[in-house]
Amino acid sequence: MEHFTENKKNLVLVGNGMVGYKFCEKFVELGMGATYNLMVFGEEPRVAYDRVKLSTYFSGTTEEELTLATADWYEDNGILLFTNELVTEIDRNEQQIKTQKGTCISYYKLILATGSSAFVPPVQGVEKEGIFVYRTIEDLEAILAFGKRARKAVVIGGGLLGLEAAKATLDMGLETHVVEFAPRLMPRQLDEQGAQTLKNKLEALDIYIHLNKNTRSFEGKDTVKKLHFADDTSLETDMVIISAGIRPRDELARQANLATGGRGGIAVNYHMQTSDPDIYAIGEVALFQQKTYGLVAPGYEMAEVALQHILGNSEKKFENVDMSTKLKLIGVDVASFGDALGETQGARTVVLDSQTSGVYKRLNISADGKRLLGGVLVGDTESYNMLLQITNNQLTVPAEPAALLVEGNTGEGTTMKASDLPDSALICSCENVDKGTICHSVVEKGVSNLAEVKKCTKAGTGCGGCMPMVKDLLEETLNAQGKAVKKVICEHFDYTRQELLDLVKVNHIRTVDELIDRYGKGQGCEICKPAVASILASTWNEMILKDNATSQDTNDRFLANIQKGGSYSVVPRVPAGEITPDKLIVLGEVAKRYHLYCKITGGQRIDLFGARLEQLPDIWEELIAAGFESGHAYGKSVRTVKSCVGSTWCRFGVQDSVSFAIQIEERYKGLRAPHKLKSAVSGCIRECAEARSKDFGIIATEKGWNLYVCGNGGANPQHAQLLASDIDEATCIRMIDRFLMFYIKTAEPLTRTAHWLKSMEGGIDYLREVVVMDSLGIGAQLEQEMTLLVNAYTCEWREVVKNPELRKQFKQFVNSDEEDTTMKFQPVRGQRVPLAW
């Protein structure tokens, strides 16, 4: 630790919250320890923590993870930290402060970062037990402890924080009510209709909303039991969380006669100096131009300005900052930015209000129609980052501004790119990182992945909301440098997947080893080997365990899915989900014999879990004898073709979806591709098979079939898009042949069709030209290649079962026939599951 010396000047910081900590961090970054001593006093018993992420404490984030820096960090950087020590007095004449514990320290400059406290309105009975505020870790601990005994909770305040608290009590399993004084939720950020959409969404999450309610009193003996409102209604409850706004903690300033505002806050100039030039105020407690700022980003900016001013640099000034917000509620997307309520003179508005999908978007456009002033997004905030950028950088909006409301679209049918933004565009507002800084880190400092960008620039380390944009910038900058232009697979090959595919084909390469020998180097790795194995499989469709077994991902290597504890699951193919009673009985008998856990999958078939490695060939021998085949649940290959029951039974069905689905599944079963492929066929427009969430989905029409492609479930659901309509079965299969083959030949490894389409220039229109109109003249060739693959199909398990050499690969121990005794199970509802890890 550096020494505190007499000849260094004393900086004293009061308050070790988020902004106080940022002050310390910048102090260290600026190397100020050489000239100044820094002493920090914090009232809270712990080191500074991330208040913004406070609510994640409910979902299991630990105190440690919330901590911004450890006590050691302060010590290592020569900062003297006093926790649990309230500063009680400032003596401006003597330039010193006093604490509750009697410590007395003189200062050269004093910085007040005392933040705010939760505002508790003076309602009758507010002192009763069971009433809490929501500001510190202690508050949350108290809420958690009390909540264990409660069934119902009421949150007072329907603003940003109140709704966050409501989500927390909901997650604690409590019946949750929100009481708001105003006639709508988030009155400061949302307009009438946006608030209504939000209310619907929250109610759908089982949060009860009460508007226009003015709490008169809290009833109950010692503990709160009921809220009584001014309109003479009441609401019973077991506990209350008050989130009715915040009040700046300016008590020290008042005691020292510094100028403060009527509604609280310590008045500062644009250097953050208070009415005493040796005393600064930063963060939530600072009152700048009659306004306080209840967000971290402006506070961080204030910390920087104050430090620069102490260093004698008066060029840096605090200016009014952006108060845009995105609500961190899980399950509801809400954002407001810029002039959200359209209060600018002459502002025009464009509104998208979809009751069915629960999406409300409002954009406010300047009178001349050229600039975006701000807006409100409820239900879909995907475009928030881009819209915020357009607003903050005053970019020209399209002539038809409604285009901005459509998903990912920023006008003229073109998607706006992060690279179109000016260098000064603020990307991460928590850490105040602009686009120039991020690009600079890539160009000058050789940063090449997201983790490094975060480390080098701090972008995305706050709320994380800007990460999608940071990622785009990183990729676009790398691209512009020619670095990522070539997406080489890994260090072992200097080729893209497409180039490797061509090399394999032209040179008739059939093993991973051969390809490394001729075109790669080293031993390969877990990235390139499965990718190459997949290329080989897509090109030759040979039995994958023949020569390349150990280059397959573990599931492919053992033709089953590995599970917790190291056992495997078995998923036989059940085309279109149609299965005879006899086959069902076989599944049941096999499961019983081998103690397998049974579950119907999301893909309309039956999964048998808990098989030992050495049991797999025996199990499959029995299944194959009964007419089953591998379901390829383990492969990056065609999985299932789901179907609805269709016109054979259903009174609405217009085509026989089951028969067509079986035909499709039989044709493409097991086909290997860059990623897994799923399909479904629905018998009418009601779409019970969910075909539009599939890589290729087919929906019956009166005249034939509509073919949709590039849909996806999973983490980023995408509806499949219409490729061709009212086509007959033969045409449909031809189109699918071409589509799949084109995908296999051009997609990067581990890219699902939806993602592949997204990065395809020209999008679905281009794809339609290639597949349907055959604009490249490759249609016949694609069909022919597919036919070869279809003809080369064999069931992998059938081959293993009859081949003793292959069967040997499924031994647990090569030097012993013992079972693995470390595998442990526990009973659940009449079956067994692995012990949790």
Partner 1 sequence: MLNSDTIVTQRSWYKVARVEDFPANGGACIKVKDQQIAVFHFSRNNEWYASQHLCPHRQQMGLARGMIGDIQGEPKVACPFHKQTFSLKSGTCLSSDEYQIQVYPVKVEKGFVYVGLEE
Ligand X SMILES: Cc1cc2nc3c(=O)[nH]c(=O)nc-3n(C[C@H](O)[C@H](O)[C@H](O)COP(=O)(O)OP(=O)(O)OC[C@H]3O[C@@H](n4cnc5c(N)ncnc54)[C@H](O)[C@@H]3O)c2cc1C
CB atoms inside a 10 Å sphere around CB 430: 20
- CA dist 754 and 183 (Å) reads 42
Among positions 479-508, residues that touch partner 1 (CB under 8 A) are: 491-492
Nearest to 382 by CA among 403, 357, 361: 361
718 phi/psi in degrees, rounded to 5: -140, 135
Minimum distance from residue 693 beta carbon to ligand SRM (Å): 6
* 439 marked as binding residue: no
- CA dist 363 and 721 (Å) reads 27
Distances (CA, A) of 169 to 140, 150, 175, 258: 11, 10, 8, 40
Pairing of strands 638-643, 597-600: unpaired
**Segment near partner 1 (CB under 8 A); pick from 119-127, 146-154, 263-271, 526-534:** 526-534
Minimum distance from residue 751 beta carbon to ligand SRM (Å): 9
**Segment near ligand X (CB under 6 A); pick from 8-16, 346-354, 410-418, 749-757:** 8-16
Residue 361 pairs in a beta bridge with: 352, 377
The reply to whether 802 sits near ligand SRM by the rule CB under 6 A is no
**Segment near ligand X (CB under 6 A); pick from 38-46, 269-277, 599-607, 810-818:** 38-46
- CA dist 532 and 496 (Å) reads 11
Query: Residue 441 half-sphere exposure, CB side, CA atoms within 13 Å?
Result: 23
The reply to whether 564 sits near partner 1 by the rule CB under 8 A is yes
**Segment near ligand X (CB under 6 A); pick from 49-57, 526-534, 598-606, 661-669:** 49-57
The reply to whether 74 sits near ligand X by the rule CB under 6 A is no
Residue 43 touches which member of partner 1, ligand SRM, ligand X, none, C-beta under 5-8 Å by kind:
ligand X
Length of the chain in residues, anyone? 837
The reply to whether 571 sits near ligand SRM by the rule CB under 6 A is yes
**Segment near ligand X (CB under 6 A); pick from 48-56, 438-446, 575-583, 613-621:** 48-56
The reply to whether 513 sits near partner 1 by the rule CB under 8 A is yes
Q: Taking the mean position of all CA atoms in its chain, how far away is CA 399?
A: 33
For ligand X, the closer of residues 41 and 132 by Cβ is 41
Residue 815 touches which member of ligand SRM, partner 1, ligand X, none, C-beta under 5-8 Å by kind:
partner 1
Q: Which of 25, 191, 284, 796 binds ligand X (CB under 6 A)?
A: 284
Query: Residue 311 half-sphere exposure, CB side, CA atoms within 13 Å?
Result: 17
- CA dist 462 and 105 (Å) reads 33
**Segment near ligand X (CB under 6 A); pick from 16-24, 177-185, 330-338, 661-669:** 16-24
Q: Which of 26, 44, 196, 511 binds ligand X (CB under 6 A)?
A: 44
Q: Are 487 and 531 in contact (CB under 8 A)?
A: no
Among positions 755-814, residues that touch partner 1 (CB under 8 A) are: 809, 811-814
* 644 marked as binding residue: yes
CB atoms inside a 10 Å sphere around CB 483: 14
520 phi/psi in degrees, rounded to 5: -130, -165
- CB neighbour list of residue 133: distance below 8 Å, 6 or more residues apart: 117, 118, 120, 139, 241, 242, 243
- CA dist 390 and 738 (Å) reads 40
Inter-helix orientation angle 729-746/763-771, to 10°: 120
For ligand X, the closer of residues 268 and 587 by Cβ is 268
Pairing of strands 87-91, 96-99: antiparallel
Residues 532-561: x/- map of binding to ligand SRM (CB under 6 A)?
A: -----------------------------x
Token code pair at residue 48: 């500074």
Residue 11 pairs in a beta bridge with: 38, 109
Among positions 151-210, residues that touch ligand SRM (CB under 6 A) are: none
Nearest to 322 by CA among 218, 426, 411: 426
The reply to whether 773 sits near ligand SRM by the rule CB under 6 A is no
The reply to whether 167 sits near ligand X by the rule CB under 6 A is no
The reply to whether 524 sits near partner 1 by the rule CB under 8 A is yes
Residues 696-715: x/- map of binding to ligand SRM (CB under 6 A)?
A: ----------------xxxx
For ligand SRM, the closer of residues 455 and 564 by Cβ is 564
For ligand SRM, the closer of residues 53 and 583 by Cβ is 583
Residue 721 burial by Cβ neighbours in a 10 Å radius (0-12, 13-18, 19+): middle
Minimum distance from residue 306 beta carbon to ligand X (Å): 12
Chain residues in the site for partner 1 (CB under 8 A): 491-492, 512-513, 516, 522-526, 528-530, 549-551, 553-554, 557-558, 562, 564-566, 809, 811-816, 818, 820, 822-823, 837
- Residues of each annotated binding site: 644, 650, 684, 688
Chain residues in the site for ligand X (CB under 6 A): 14-20, 41-44, 51-52, 54-55, 86-87, 113-116, 134-135, 161, 164, 249, 252, 283-284, 294-297, 299, 328, 463
